[in-house]
Chains A and B, each alone.
Chain A
């Protein structure tokens, strides 16, 4: 087993152990962070590895969230099926959007994905009769059980969050080390060159977007099922920007960067808002410091300076 694989399995083991050590408050936080980190990891596939700056990932997260939530609310589906539906919804929405949005690159791609995501958000509000719009709805306890265990129970919820995060993170690791991952990195570095090496660039990007959408959909579905609430906020622009910030902070195109970024940003807001209402200013200063001292994110800069083996 290589150093890199050991590190990632080690983190999962540490997270599993933390379950028994952390006080209740942080225990609950960490479950939430792991689900959001799965979302950030999904974002990292397209942004970090393939170099596509999307401002529409809230749409994929939202697709998963609403697929699981609405199926439970109106179809009475069980949690595992909800998760599967979330993955499918994320992948399908990403593929359809990708077929259109990938005709553009760079700034146009940003704008087009943003427009699609806003259209998605407005769709949620438009069908307020079912989605209950901004107000959202709370999932019935029956929809939140897995193998007879309630996801409302903190311990079960923590394990479920760890499973979702672990699957997405190990999936990212496998992708980063695969031939396909190398092709995505090549596209990020020089798209025309990659095409002239015989790679179908459009298809590779579409596949990256579909994988990213599936992962984001999984995170969205997990969020609905684990925390029991489905609302339009999660499909809003804010949830397209947040994964970008998390990934930038932890390090784009590093497998663990999204988790680290999510963790730090979560606690930065949590701690600073406990003593000031101007906590967003502190977040702003932190981001400026990040750009000054860690221009490639924490793990990205660490990899550049000290640990080139870091995937």
Chain B
């Protein structure tokens, strides 16, 4: 793996009133890795990735993506730089078809100003993305009618449609069956060949299976970081999180 830093944060802090949800985090992500972000509920994981994706503004600190300081950039501009975020709570366009959902994602990078791409090229690109997540056969169905597991897949497809350099997945396997989790894991591994993946996940089986490295958060700070084997053995982590 090439040791090129894709993302780094310096002193990243976010306060909500008296609560410091993210507290001076120094974080570094290498290009091409799969990084899992774990920690107990309320540890600040979602707030942390929201600061990276630009959905929230930090109280202090900086976010540097691909060598560029993106701290002041709005979320939509960060998406265009290659940071894609998939929502923890499934957030697809329920009344549109799967194809329309993915087209909206794909269209963004094919647009010139507000001029859209050629319809055939757009459809082909969107179908290719749906095919990657295994939903191509259902392209004309209405997204709201899909099962929860398939909506999660569609959510990932919309992330993929953005051709991201960094794909942030916020608890992607929550609510999925074991069989769905197995195919999801395979999908993430496939995605990771082209993009860096930052994954918030509670399912430790998935984390140990997928992650190249694991970052453990607690009370807004990074408690530990390392390869899965080291994290599993870490006494601090066990006390804080694994219930050891």
Which residues of A are in contact with B by a Cβ distance under 8 Å?
178-180, 182-183, 185-186, 189-190, 192-201, 204, 207
Contacts of B91 in A (CB 8 A): 190, 192-193
| Chain A contact residues: helix, strand, loop or mixed | helix
Instruction: Tally chain B residues at the interface, Cβ within 8 Å.
Output: 32
- Whether B53 contacts A186 by the Cβ 8 Å rule is no
5 tightest A-B contacts by CB?
A: A179-B116, A198-B79, A198-B108, A180-B114, A189-B93
- Whether A179 contacts B114 by the Cβ 8 Å rule is yes
Give 29 A-B contacts (CB < 8 Å), ordered by A residue.
Answer: A178-B114, A179-B107, A179-B111, A179-B115, A180-B114, A180-B116, A182-B104, A182-B116, A183-B104, A186-B93, A189-B95, A189-B96, A190-B91, A192-B55, A192-B91, A193-B91, A196-B53, A196-B75, A196-B76, A196-B85, A197-B104, A198-B76, A198-B80, A198-B162, A199-B76, A200-B74, A201-B76, A204-B114, A207-B114
Contacts of B107 in A (CB 8 A): 179, 182-183
- List 11 additional contacts besides A180-B116, A182-B103; criterion CB under 8 Å: A178-B114, A179-B115, A189-B96, A192-B91, A197-B105, A197-B108, A197-B158, A197-B162, A200-B74, A201-B76, A207-B114
B92 within 8 A of A: yes
Closest chain A residue to B86, Cβ basis: A196
Give Cα A97–Cα B161 distance, bound, in whole angstroms.
35
Minimal beta-carbon separation of B156 from chain A (angstroms)? 13
Within residues 61 to 104 of chain B, which ones have a CB less than 8 A from any CB in chain A? 74-77, 79-80, 84-85, 87, 91-96, 100, 103-104
- Whether A193 contacts B76 by the Cβ 8 Å rule is no
Contacts of A186 in B (CB 8 A): 93, 96, 104
Give Cα A186–Cα B117 distance, bound, in whole angstroms.
17
Closest chain A residue to B111, Cβ basis: A179
Q: Name the residue in A182, A185, A196 with the highest tally of chain B Cβ atoms < 10 Å from its Cβ.
A: A196
Which residues of B are in contact with A by a Cβ distance under 8 Å?
53, 55, 74-77, 79-80, 84-85, 87, 91-96, 100, 103-105, 107-109, 111, 114-117, 158, 161-162
Partner of B94, one of A182, A185, A189, A194: A189
Minimal beta-carbon separation of A184 from chain B (angstroms)? 10
Partner of B75, one of A180, A195, A207: A195
Contacts of A200 in B (CB 8 A): 74, 76-77
Minimal beta-carbon separation of B105 from chain A (angstroms)? 5
- Whether A190 contacts B93 by the Cβ 8 Å rule is yes
Give Cα A186–Cα B96 distance, bound, in whole angstroms.
9
User: With A182-B104, A207-B114 as given contacts, are A195 and B93 in contact (CB-CB < 8 Å)?
Assistant: no
